[in-house]
Chains A and B, each alone.
Chain A
Amino acid sequence: MAASCVVASELLQNTKQISMFFPKTSRFIRRISTSNLQCDKQHQLKTNSASQQLVGVVGLEIHAQINSNTKLFSGSPVRFSAPPNSLVSFLDASLPGTLPVLNRRCVEAAVMTGLALNCTINKKSLFDRKHYFYADLPAGYQITQQRRPIAVDGTLTYSFLSGKKRSQVIRKHVHVKQIQLEQDSGKSLHDDVRSQTLIDLNRAGVGLMELVMEPDMNCGEEAAAAVRELQLILQALGTCQGNMSEGQLRVDANVSVHRPGEPLGIRTEVKNLNSIRYLARAIDYEIQRQIGVVQRGETVQNETRAYDSKSGETVPMRDKEGLQDYRFMPEPNLPPLIVYEDDASLPSGIDPGQAVVVQEIKEGLPELPSVRRERLVQTYGLLPEHSFTLVNEDGLMEYFEEVMKGTRREPRKVIGWVTNELLGQLKQRDLSVSQSPISPAALAELLELQETGHISSSIAKQVYQEMWNSPGKTAAQTIQEQDLGLVSDVAQLHSICQKVVDSHPDEVCAIRSGNTKVLNKLMGLVQKETKGRADPVLVMDILKQKTS
């Protein structure tokens, strides 16, 4: 058992070496190694109670920047890039004499997110101060909700594709411990040359939702799938734009290893993860690293580590001098935040602009990704893994629905074109769906031509390739130019089939004596003659006639 663990780490070493020599394949290899070695193996081992293998345990802390016009406690604007310190009010700069005033939109955003994750919304929640000294925190404390956050006790349900053909949809749950409102800090740029730090407070005071999750996950793939699902949910709600590279969604992973059944091991915190792909890789690397440490008999240090995307390793960050003491205290300038269950529970005479009503928000929730997937399965009769892919790729669902409008072909026959042919080509060229040179209408035209019998399926694939090579031409143009139309002229087909039959007497004998599979070989020869344009159904009939 220990041996296979060593094999696992050796394999990781080998994949690293391979990826050094063949950089393009690294992505492929790494994906295979993480999904096969980590999750599946660990799940197998977990069910075997007698096993002594170390498994990874992952808990996520996610900070989502609230999509609002102004900041959490001040009326200064929220924007991604702007001249330094131009989006800063006196409160954000923490000048004396300023007081925080809560932004209603941020409260609504937190309630919406809590409802979408099946949380209990605390009708009364409280604000606290969390103290620590850092140059980008001008007040010396951050206003957060440590004692009683606005939402608690929810579930994030996520899925990912697994199995040999990635056709099995595996569903898992993560327990959401709480969602709290808090302030973002400013940004610090370290100038090591002149030994100074430059501070930009544009981001200071922006509203954040901190989502704390229980350590219910075991590997990078699960964490990545959970974050992806959360991204889709937040984007559907409009409460956060979820762009990890712009810092709108920040994920920190708490990683530890232990043997199933035993208490949790010492955890490290992995930060500086600005894409879902890096998140998965960093977590898997860290799990392997910790397994190595434990197996060598050493102890894992409780530290903060950063992910270095170039080397694929986690490295220790600035040391945090052991556990921090944040000296939490109630925020004296903010009374408790009250939200109301429904209109009936509103106190009389209250200004509606001052009342956040949970029932109203619940009724106004947009279609969530899980509901959307179900709808696609119901409406189009798709398989779960197809609707998963459609919803997972930005814009792909809309593309598919557009194509369906333009053709009468069955959805199940169209889906393969969208999720395999189109998506495959886009991924190879690193394009997004919106950048696709083939419009939904163009693809619909091609499929309609196939549906109405103008071209065969193999020709359709050929024309599709041509459409990628010369984006201006429509399918119809290509078919006409290269004379790829289906040959249905019976007389012509008869003569071709006769030719093939006459030149292959052995095969004809085999067929006559019962080996009907040889018919396919003859069919192949006919197709070669007609350059793939023969109507397969007709040809099969004719061949059968001629060889009976």
Chain B
Amino acid sequence: PKVPKVPTWEAVLEEQLPPADLVDKLERLALVDFRTKQGLACLEKAVRFAGQLHAVDTSGVEPMDSVLEDALHLRGDAVTEGDCAEELLGLAERTVEEYFVAPPNIPLPTREERSAMLKHSEF
């Protein structure tokens, strides 16, 4: 049988946990703040849970990346939509003369800066 009947994972050692700078990088890429040691522990559990997939032997099996069974539909090159600027701009909180407004790309502040900012917040 390919799937073992009893869990075969072992506890992950401290050294094997993702290093702090890797966590920083993940936080910046996903714009998620793991914030506390509890958050990190949660991340570790999630990674370990997903790691169970490695226990399954998938050699020779093509990964399935879509549940779609129909062939890809090809569309003709005629204009059928667009021209709804008003409707779309109406969804945005801030617009300037028919442009959407986005704050400039500021990278996520470092952990120290964030702690300083959130010192007085309830979280």
Give the distance to chain A from B95, nearest Cβ to Cβ, in Å. 9
Within 8 A of A (CB), among B55-86: 65-85
* Contact present for A103 and B75 (CB under 8 Å): yes
Give the distance to chain B from A348, nearest Cβ to Cβ, in Å. 14
Total A-B pairs, Cβ < 8 A: 136
* Contact present for B98 and A83 (CB under 8 Å): yes
**Cα distance, A230 to B36, chains bound together (Å):** 53
Give the distance to chain A from B113, nearest Cβ to Cβ, in Å. 15
For A190, list chain B residues within 8 Å (CB). Answer: 104
**Which of B28, B71, B75, B102 has a CB less than 8 Å from the CB of A196?**
B102
* Contact present for B99 and A85 (CB under 8 Å): yes
* Contact present for A84 and B85 (CB under 8 Å): yes
* Contact present for B98 and A84 (CB under 8 Å): yes
Within 8 A of B (CB), among A194-225: 195-201
* Contact present for A188 and B82 (CB under 8 Å): no
Within 8 A of A (CB), among B10-37: 25, 28-29, 31
* Contact present for A102 and B100 (CB under 8 Å): no
* Contact present for B65 and A70 (CB under 8 Å): no
Answer whether residue A365 sits at the interface, using C-beta atoms and an 8 A cutoff: no
Within 8 A of B (CB), among A72-119: 74-77, 83-90, 93, 95, 101-105, 107
* Contact present for A198 and B101 (CB under 8 Å): yes
For chain B, the count of residues having a C-beta within 8 Å of the partner chain is: 39
Answer whether residue A538 sits at the interface, using C-beta atoms and an 8 A cutoff: no
Within 8 A of A (CB), among B101-123: 101-105, 107
Q: Which residue of B lies closest to A323 (CB)?
A: B25
**Which of A76, A325, A335 has a CB less than 8 Å from the CB of B79?**
A76
Known contacts A75-B75, A75-B81, A85-B85; decide if A201 and B65 are in contact (CB<8 Å): no
Known contacts A85-B88, A189-B99; decide if A135 and B105 are in contact (CB<8 Å): yes
Answer whether residue B3 sits at the interface, using C-beta atoms and an 8 A cutoff: no
Answer whether residue B96 sits at the interface, using C-beta atoms and an 8 A cutoff: yes
**Cα distance, A338 to B72, chains bound together (Å):** 8
**Which of B77, B81, B101 has a CB less than 8 Å from the CB of A197?**
B101
Known contacts A337-B72, A353-B74; decide if A69 and B79 are in contact (CB<8 Å): yes
For B78, list chain A residues within 8 Å (CB). Answer: 69-70, 75
Q: Which residue of A lies closest to B72 (CB)?
A: A335
Answer whether residue B43 sits at the interface, using C-beta atoms and an 8 A cutoff: no
Q: Show 10 residue pairs from A and B whose CB-CB distance is below 8 angstroms, ordered by the A residue.
A: A75-B81, A102-B75, A103-B75, A104-B75, A105-B77, A135-B105, A189-B99, A197-B101, A335-B66, A338-B72
List B residues at the A interface (Cβ < 8 Å): 25, 28-29, 31, 65-85, 88-89, 91, 96-105, 107
